Structure 1
């Protein structure tokens, strides 16, 4: 499996088993395996989601995340299409959680 390259304890789908193992290097490596090169807005989203998770013990609903992006970067970036482009094909929420070192979202298969 491609996630064997990550220098951390991960599950079969590439999610960190222990939240405290996360660091920026791991995030960069997971993102690369997902075909994503992290930029400033990626990091803002990653840190927003991690902070939200640490405070509420759950991932933010997609609407909350999109509204936070819109407040900071405007409506042209605060929408689901922009988020999908940032995190490429597949579920943006799953990729954000994975890169952020957080558990797989509950409603995702």
Structure 2
């Protein structure tokens, strides 16, 4: 794999994992729960069970559909799972304050940056 000059690394245990400048993983196979934890630490985010619910949902959805879930899909799922007081756009963005579930959530879930994302 050839890395561009804009690639940086994230230390995960004793491994260096290539990520882009925003923290999106370069190689999907490099993802692990330890990666998500290391990136969350770097971003100042304390992961709760609810964060892990969203991360696992994003990963599962991606591997079933080969595309990231849209926020409306996440809202529908988590409204059923958590109830309406937490299964909403505002709560999901509170959980992931650096870009919401589609940006920060995708980064932590080890999903590649979507086309058109800036």
TM-score by length of 1: 0.90
Measured on the aligned residues, the alpha-carbon RMSD in Å equals 1.7
Aligned equivalents of 1:60 and 1:87: distance in 2?
15
Q: Which stretches of structure 1, 4 residues or more, deviate above 6 A after TM superposition?
A: none
The counterpart of 1:74, out of the listed 49, 59, 83, is 83
Higher Cα Rg: structure 1 or 2? 2
**How many residue pairs were aligned?**
108
Please, which runs of 5 or more residues in structure 2 have no aligned partner? Answer: 1-7
Please, which runs of 5 or more residues in structure 1 have no aligned partner? Answer: none
The counterpart of 1:65, out of the listed 46, 51, 74, is 74
- Aligned residue runs from structure 1 range 1-109, under 5 A: 4-6=9-11, 7-109=16-118
TM-score by length of 2: 0.83
User: Is the 1:97–1:105 contact (alpha carbons within 8 Å) kept by the matching residues of 2?
Assistant: no
Q: Highest relative contact order (Cα 8 Å, sep 6+), 1 or 2? A: 1
Which structure has greater strand proportion? 2
